[in-house]
Amino acid sequence: NAAPSFQVTQTTLLPGNQLALSWPSASGWVYTVEACTNLRPTVAWIPVATNLTGTSGVTSWTGLVNQATEFFCVKAQQ
C-alpha cells in the first residue's frame, strides 16, 4: 500500500536546541524521524525517533538538533 500523503505542517525551534515537528498522520501507520548533516549523494540518514504511532489526526515529535545544519525526514510504514 502507498503511504498516506503528508507534509510536515509545523517546525518550531524550541529552547535548548530542540526542534518540534508535526504532520498529519493515519491510524495503522508507524512513523520514523531520521536526520543527517548533509544532502550529498552518500546521504547517511540516522534514525532519531522510531515507532511513532500514527493517529487519525496529527503526530508530533520533539527532539534535539545536534548540528548547526541538520536535515530531517519523516518516513511512514504500515
More confident residue, 76 or 42: 76
Give residue-wise pLDDT tens across range 4-40.
Answer: 566 677 677 788 888 888 888 888 899 999 999 888 8
**Do 74 and 33 touch, CB atoms closer than 8 A?**
yes
**Do 35 and 49 touch, CB atoms closer than 8 A?**
no
**Do 64 and 46 touch, CB atoms closer than 8 A?**
no
Q: What is the pLDDT of residue 18?
A: 87
Give the percent of the chain with pLDDT over 90.
22
Q: Would you state the cell numbers that stand for residue 52, as one nine-digit string? A: 511513532
Quick check: pTM over 0.85? no
Closest CA to 74 of 39, 58, 57, 50: 50
